[in-house]
A and B are shown apart, each in its own frame.
Chain A
Amino acid sequence: MIEAKGLKKTYTISKKAGFLRKEKQKVKAVDGIDLTISEGEIVGLLGLNGAGKTTTIKMLCTLLNPTAGTISVDGLDAVCDAMAVKGLVNMIAGGERMLYWRLTGAENLRYFGKLYGLHGLELEEKISSLLSQVGLSEVSDTPVELYSKGMKQRLQIARGLINDPRYLFLDEPTLGLDVPVAKQLRETVKNLAKEQQKGILLTSHYLEEVEELCDRVYIIEKGKIVLHDTPQKITETVVNEFHVSVETRTLSALEQSKLAKGLPSCKIQFLPSSDGTILEIKAPFDPTSIIIAICVEQKISIQKLELKRPRLEDAILALAKEKSA
């Protein structure tokens, strides 16, 4: 298990204060984060740009030293035992960097494999198996510069798995990928956690992706965790609003009044349509069973009923709105 406690990172940056003068300024990128990642679990790390996600990932994978706090990876201290921790983790970032473009896919994996101490038949088998896993076997001997963006990203995944890490940090892994390739990558990530029991920390701006993949989500804002729960619970806690749209025959004033009385804590709008009436209902709970019961009692036929559950995206937007207010 990865366990971070009281994680802080402060950068000292130089700001121009004249033609030759520079002023030093301290910037808190991460400010007291506690988090855990277990094997076989996908954990999301969400936040607006500059919230501290990448800095957190870089501290967890030993590329940055925390200013304060501790990180334990399977009992090893990420600062004091950094070299041992490096063997247990790996990181994959979105985009097309972090590969040697003039080398082929197989050559890239061979180089990084050797840095992890792999060699000979073991390394060659690993390269072949990883390339097959990410669907790049046929282009293993093609220079990376001729790969598409999606192929480069899949090679990144293979590179991130070359040391068979127990924990994998994915920083925007589907950035800029088209829908089918992103979907394929999501399947790969799911399999890594569920079948290979790897602990995964994922940051992404695609919230549907986080909702689909993550068991738990940390939401960070200005370096601090503001919420931590399952995506569903976060949504329910933050948004707490269900939106139901019902299409019926034209309703009389009496029927409209009965419906309004039956849903006292809800906001109801009755909108005329060409075929009848559209009810737009906003409720702090799922009101579909009550609506159906009233309609049955009043003999109102329902032509269409649509329930829009709140999404994680609504929660993040609500949180951002709350913070700016």
Chain B
Amino acid sequence: MRCMSILWAEAVKSHQHNFHNKLVYFSLLIWPALLFVTSYYSFKPFNLSATGPLSAYIETDQIILFLLTGYLAYIFFWSLVQSAWNMSYERQAGTLELIFLTPVSRITVMYARAAGNLFEAVWLFTLFTLLVLLTTGQADHIHWANVPIALLFLSISAIVWGGFLNIVFLFSRDAGILFTIFEEPMQFFSGVRIPVLAFPVWGKVIAFFFPLTYVLDIFRKLILDGAGLLQLIDQFLMLAGVLAILFTVSVLLLKKAEHHAKETGNMVLF
């Protein structure tokens, strides 16, 4: 009950504070849609036939589906990087210190913040995805029965990821480097545009460090291949392991961040 109340409080605050202008929604659609369109047309000049290099990894006649699913999952993860970035505002405004003045569960606030931001950041692109599927005649290739469970796994993973990022930004006022790390590299190495299997070994090693890689693999197998949950048990276990590590690291970092702030008073520095 308390968790839901805090989740709702964060969602409402986020809506009122971050999504106060209709132009924000416009950018939430235009920017990812442009990413998708530019990626799609980047593939066009290359050999996408059955003899082409990509055909070993994906169905090249379903490149739209591959990219759409990739960008949808990416937007879930990337929107929470942006949401974590807003922690800098809380630090400057002094509201971060006020949150820590209350007896609220810190870990709940961090995850509620991620969850509260997620829906509002992704619903428009999700609708766009649906629209593209319907207008390009690709909807028949989707395993609709698996869509709810796929979106559920995607959301849970994104929230665990978002909570982790919120905590990292809490720990340091100079966490802006995460923006650099997670924008283009996450998009590239997690398999959003190019299948991870197509990477050389060093690329696969880098991909291994992005939780989006594991989520996207499951997401596509559920939606595009129609795989059953039992068939994906190994992938689910792997994802569960990654999320458990992320959660454990988050809890430890959060304790360390608050302790550090109590020692140094850095929560008001910006």
Give Cα distance in the complex from A289 to B13, angstroms: 65
Give Cα distance in the complex from A103 to B265, angstroms: 27
Give Cα distance in the complex from A86 to B97, angstroms: 12
Q: Output the least CB separation between B221 and chain A (Å).
A: 39
Q: Output the least CB separation between A218 and chain B (Å).
A: 21
Q: Does A58 contact B (CB under 8 A)?
A: yes
- A62 lies within 8 A of B101 (CB): yes
- A115 lies within 8 A of B95 (CB): no
Q: How many A-B residue pairs have CB under 8 A?
A: 82
- B20 lies within 8 A of A83 (CB): no
Q: Does A98 contact B (CB under 8 A)?
A: yes
Give Cα distance in the complex from A91 to B98, angstroms: 8
Q: Does B249 contact A (CB under 8 A)?
A: no
Q: Does A117 contact B (CB under 8 A)?
A: yes
Q: Which residues of A contact B93 (CB under 8 A)?
A: 97-101
Q: Which residues of B contact A97 (CB under 8 A)?
A: 92-95
Q: A84-B103, A100-B93 are in contact. Are A63 and B9 (CB under 8 A)?
A: no
- A103 lies within 8 A of B16 (CB): yes
- B265 lies within 8 A of A11 (CB): yes
Contact with B along A89-109 (1 / 0, CB 8 A): 011010001111111000100
Q: A115-B9, A115-B102 are in contact. Are A58 and B265 (CB under 8 A)?
A: yes
- A114 lies within 8 A of B6 (CB): yes
Q: Output the least CB separation between A130 and chain B (Å).
A: 16
Q: Which residues of B contact A204 (CB under 8 A)?
A: none
Q: Does A112 contact B (CB under 8 A)?
A: yes
**Residue of A with least CB distance to B90:** A100
Give Cα distance in the complex from A139 to B12, angstroms: 19
Task: Give the residues from 39 to 62 in chain A that come closer than 8 angstroms, CB to CB, to chain B.
Answer: 55, 58, 61-62
Q: Does B99 contact A (CB under 8 A)?
A: yes
- A115 lies within 8 A of B262 (CB): no
- A111 lies within 8 A of B12 (CB): yes
Q: Which residues of A contact B8 (CB under 8 A)?
A: 114
- B265 lies within 8 A of A64 (CB): yes
Complex partner residue of A110 from B9, B100, B259, B264, CB under 8 angstroms: B9
- A63 lies within 8 A of B2 (CB): no
Q: A65-B262, A110-B9 are in contact. Are A103 and B17 (CB under 8 A)?
A: yes
Q: A97-B94, A114-B5, A117-B2 are in contact. Are A102 and B17 (CB under 8 A)?
A: yes
Q: Does B109 contact A (CB under 8 A)?
A: yes
Task: Give the residues from 94 to 151 in chain B that come closer than 8 angstroms, CB to CB, to chain A.
Answer: 94-95, 97-104, 109
Give Cα distance in the complex from A84 to B102, angstroms: 10
Contact with A along B228-257 (1 / 0, CB 8 A): 000000000000000000000000000000
Interface size of B by Cβ–Cβ distance < 8 Å? 30
Q: Output the least CB separation between A143 and chain B (Å).
A: 9
Q: Does B165 contact A (CB under 8 A)?
A: no
Q: Which residues of B contact A63 (CB under 8 A)?
A: 97, 100-101, 261-262, 265, 267
- B94 lies within 8 A of A114 (CB): no
Q: A86-B103, A100-B13 are in contact. Are A112 and B98 (CB under 8 A)?
A: yes
- B263 lies within 8 A of A65 (CB): yes
Q: Output the least CB separation between A254 and chain B (Å).
A: 68
Task: Give the residues from 141 to 170 in chain A that come closer than 8 angstroms, CB to CB, to chain B.
Answer: 159, 163
**Residue of A with least CB distance to B9:** A114
**Residue of A with least CB distance to B258:** A82
Give Cα distance in the complex from A112 to B5, angstroms: 11
Q: Which residues of A contact B104 (CB under 8 A)?
A: 115-117
Give Cα distance in the complex from A98 to B262, angstroms: 18
Complex partner residue of A112 from B17, B97, B102, B265, CB under 8 angstroms: B102
Q: Which residues of B contact A84 (CB under 8 A)?
A: 103
- B17 lies within 8 A of A100 (CB): yes
Q: Output the least CB separation between B266 and chain A (Å).
A: 10
Q: Output the least CB separation between A316 and chain B (Å).
A: 26
- A87 lies within 8 A of B17 (CB): no
Q: Which residues of B contact A11 (CB under 8 A)?
A: 264-265
Q: Does A119 contact B (CB under 8 A)?
A: yes
Give Cα distance in the complex from A12 to B263, angstroms: 9
Q: Which residues of B contact A159 (CB under 8 A)?
A: 98
Q: Which residues of A contact B16 (CB under 8 A)?
A: 100, 102-103, 107
Give Cα distance in the complex from A103 to B10, angstroms: 12
- A61 lies within 8 A of B101 (CB): yes
- B94 lies within 8 A of A98 (CB): yes
**Residue of B with least CB distance to A123:** B5
Q: Which residues of B contact A112 (CB under 8 A)?
A: 98, 102
Q: A63-B97, A103-B16 are in contact. Are A115 and B109 (CB under 8 A)?
A: yes
Contacts A86-B102, A111-B13, A115-B102 known; 6 new A-B pairs at CB < 8 A: A63-B265, A65-B263, A86-B103, A115-B99, A116-B102, A116-B104
Top 3 closest A-B pairs, CB basis?
A97-B94, A114-B9, A98-B94
A-B contact pairs, 23 of them (CB 8 A): A12-B264, A58-B265, A64-B262, A64-B265, A86-B102, A86-B103, A90-B101, A91-B101, A93-B94, A99-B95, A100-B13, A100-B16, A100-B17, A102-B16, A102-B17, A103-B13, A111-B13, A112-B98, A112-B102, A114-B5, A115-B9, A115-B99, A116-B104
